[in-house]
Amino acid sequence: MSQAKAQRNARTLGATPDELRMLVLDYLCHNARSKTVQAFTHDSAVKYVDADGDDIMPAPGEITFDDGLRLRLASGELREEIRTCILSGQIDEAIELLNRYFPSVLSENTETPPISKTNGRLEYIPSTSVNPAHLLINLHIQGFIEAARSVPLPYYPPGAQPPTSPITTSTSETTDEDKEMSDLRATERLLHRAQNLYAEANRLPAAEDRGQYLLELGKVGSLLAYVVPEKGPVTQYLGQDRREALADSIDSAILYRTGQRVVSKLDLAARQTSVVWSMLHEQKIKPPPPSGWPEGVAPPGMSRPAPAPSSMSSKKPSEPDAPQAFTPFDLQSYLDTST
């Protein structure tokens, strides 16, 4: 390998501190970690030196963000608020926020833009539907599920402290007649929600969509048959995982409709590496010898061999054999061994 080619390869695999900093900022902004962005920006800011040679760090209030970063942070905070509403079962509140701040996500007049290319490459698109009609009925179905609960399912955002004592209901005395009337009104509201859901599903223009949603509503509607649905055979609709799946799809739709990347650069790089490495393993591709690895770099799942002991012999030491094949890429194992 020529020296010029080796330098090009090293530059491709190496990254400048500023590039790594922007990669981390992109990941934090994508995941709406505003406070972490502020702390990271402060800690990674350019350091100045005073007359004594000591570092001078800017105060937190002196850190400024460019317009693009500021807009991403503001959008991320709204996305996080909507996500928290969905994860907490507050579906009506989530719909209100979507219509206020991201109206194109649920608007019937929203057109699906063509798949765009950046630098000749196709953009990553969401794995779930971004059709506003699909998203709206999915939200309404989850709203019906939340209304059907007889046992609360609390959600505590990361960093929030759950109450030390269990949540208690009101201690006001109610008669059996009052409770019966309350249960009757709740059942009537649920039936009204179910009727609206069936009407909404029948308005879908595609026959295939209508069939799928009507089948789904038939299963979800069975929650009405149980006084305590949490003890019935349809508990799979009442778990937190269903809220999480809906929150993920809505968040992807927001990013898609606002022209932002659906996944962060770091996440996309990890996915690409996993796929490429798995294909190399399946095809039994033999890696290059260690001498062809850039300085300071070792392929995932492999380690750079120790240097051979020096010898007085003038004979050139033989190079360690390359591994027989690439190993499957496991992100968690790679992160564990890299820290």
The most distant pair of C-alpha atoms in the chain lies apart, rounded to whole Å, by: 101
Per-domain residue ranges of the chain: 69-157+184-263, 265-288+323-339
Nearest to 152 by CA among 90, 65, 208, 224: 90
- Give, for all 339 residues of the chain, the pLDDT tens digit: 455 554 555 455 567 777 888 888 888 888 877 778 778 777 776 554 455 555 555 555 544 566 777 888 888 899 999 999 999 999 999 999 999 999 999 998 766 554 444 555 556 677 889 999 999 999 999 999 999 999 999 998 877 777 765 555 455 566 766 666 666 787 889 999 999 999 999 999 999 999 999 999 999 999 988 888 988 888 999 999 999 999 999 999 999 999 888 888 888 888 888 888 888 888 888 777 777 777 767 776 677 666 666 555 555 555 555 556 677 777 777 666 655
pLDDT of residue 57: 54
pLDDT of residue 103: 95
Distance set, CA 112 to CA 14, 248, 259 (Å): 38, 19, 12
Q: Are 100 and 85 spatial neighbours (Cβ–Cβ below 8 Å)?
A: no
* Dihedral sign of CA atoms 67, 73, 78, 83 in order: positive
Nearest to 64 by CA among 42, 33, 34: 42
Distance set, CA 159 to CA 6, 32, 37, 162, 325 (Å): 46, 14, 16, 9, 43
pTM listed for this prediction: 0.74
How open is the CA angle 18-21-26, to the nearest 5 degrees? Answer: 125
pLDDT of residue 109: 78
Q: Are 257 and 110 spatial neighbours (Cβ–Cβ below 8 Å)?
A: yes
pLDDT of residue 74: 86
pLDDT of residue 320: 53
Distance set, CA 20 to CA 3, 17, 201 (Å): 25, 5, 47
